[in-house]
Amino acid sequence: MGNLRKDHVAERFVIVNESKTKPSKSKKNPFKLGNESMTNPSVLSLVLKDGMLQRLQDDEGDSVKNWTVRVVPAINPAVDIETENTYSEHPLYSEPAYGYHYNIIASPDETKTLATIDVEQWGYVLSVVQDRLRWLYTQKGVAYVAIYADSGKNSGTKVQHPHLHMMSFSTIPPKIEEEANSSHRILNEKGVYPMSQLVTSESGGPRQILQTEGFIALSPWAPSHPYEFWICPKKHATSFSKISQKEINDLALILRATLGGLSNSIKDVSFNIAFHLSPEKKNSKQIHWHVEVYPQTIPWSGLELGFGIFLNELTPEKAAEELGAACRKELSALVGIL
């Protein structure tokens, strides 16, 4: 099984996990409706029947049919709860890559993408994410749950079918730790949450892309990617697992409108999504949770990879102007459908 290695100088972790499963020669899509036998049995299958949602799971040798959203343990997990309990010391520090790794199959339709599934479907997906998040934080050895998605041929995904990953870690990822420490420092120095201040200052400004009742989509002041945008709750909130169904529906709307607007603006765009959430277990350093979207329009150069300094030839103001027009058009169409 894999191990989690820490760089001997930098605050950076790498999961080294050699796959024990041979790549499948089959061209079949394992996430497509009807191909349930190609994945691990589901731990949760959401089924829409007579206007009601049923929460089911696969029995041994008997898969749930006609599902709407399906949660399965990953075939080649990056982390595993059955990993070997081996450690090594500094400077070559490593620890077991312990954790849970699930795939959330966002639609039974392989022709859809995360930018084209409808708003209601996104609502189902986010409800399942919230459900799994709550369960994972009751498990031993879970310090943080990472939620992310890859979409498009340049996103790093191995399966194009729309899906998300949920992966737990026994330690808090360095990027989240850094964000929490910085937020905590600014709160102590200035008495304000920096993300809350950002949301207030960007509302109605040149980097705003779109607003709904409870959320704002904006181009960050210093984006690492052209057309990068964040979706933030307007009110200060640290816990995604505690948001209401109304807020989930609102988030589904702005996610679908912005991803649709992005895809309409840039043909065949690949993108990555990362949910930046506070650790749900007791921790004094919390963050204002939000969703970050990174379009993959150009590859990183040695400047980004070697030094962590990002060269962006598109201003966030110009990106917001372009995306804003496309996203408002998309939102108008979606609201008309709803």
pLDDT tens per residue across span 99-119: 999 999 999 999 999 999 999
The C-alpha atoms of residue 65 and residue 326 are separated, in whole angstroms, by: 37
State the pLDDT at residue 314.
Answer: 96
- Active-site residue (options: 161, 163, 276, 288): 163
The answer to whether 124 and 68 are in contact (CB under 8 A) is yes
> What is the three-class DSSP state of 47?
strand
State the pLDDT at residue 20.
Answer: 63
State the pLDDT at residue 1.
Answer: 62
Going by pLDDT thresholds of 50, 70 and 90, the confidence category of residue 93 is confident
The C-alpha atoms of residue 105 and residue 156 are separated, in whole angstroms, by: 17
State the pLDDT at residue 338.
Answer: 63
DSSP code of residue 88: B
State the pLDDT at residue 87.
Answer: 87
308 burial class (0-12, 13-18, 19+ CB within 10 angstroms)? exposed
- Tokens 């040695």 -> residue: 302
pLDDT of 238-288, one tens digit each?
999 999 999 999 999 999 999 999 999 999 999 999 999 998 876 667 899
Name which of 328, 220, 322, 206 is nearest 265 in CA terms. Answer: 322
Q: Which domains does the chain have, with CATH numbers?
A: 28-75+99-335 (3.30.428.10)
- Which residues are within 8 A (CB) of 238 and not within 5 positions of it... i.e. 6 or more apart? 278, 286, 287, 288, 289
Instruction: Please tell me which residue, 319 or 24, carries the higher pLDDT value.
Output: 319
163 burial class (0-12, 13-18, 19+ CB within 10 angstroms)? buried
> What is the three-class DSSP state of 104?
strand
97 burial class (0-12, 13-18, 19+ CB within 10 angstroms)? buried
DSSP string, 276-303: E---SSS-S-----EEEEEEESS---HH
Lowest mean pLDDT among 12-16, 149-153, 326-330: 12-16
Round the average pLDDT of the chain to a whole number and report it.
93
Residue 220 pLDDT greater than 80, yes or no: yes
State the pLDDT at residue 22.
Answer: 61
Active site residue 163: yes
The C-alpha atoms of residue 22 and residue 20 are separated, in whole angstroms, by: 7
Give yes or no for a cis peptide into 279 (omega within 30° of 0). no
**Torsional sign, CA 63, 54, 129, 106:** positive
- Tokens 């989690």 -> residue: 4
The C-alpha atoms of residue 165 and residue 163 are separated, in whole angstroms, by: 7
Q: What is the mean pLDDT of residues 218-241?
A: 96
The answer to whether 168 and 79 are in contact (CB under 8 A) is yes
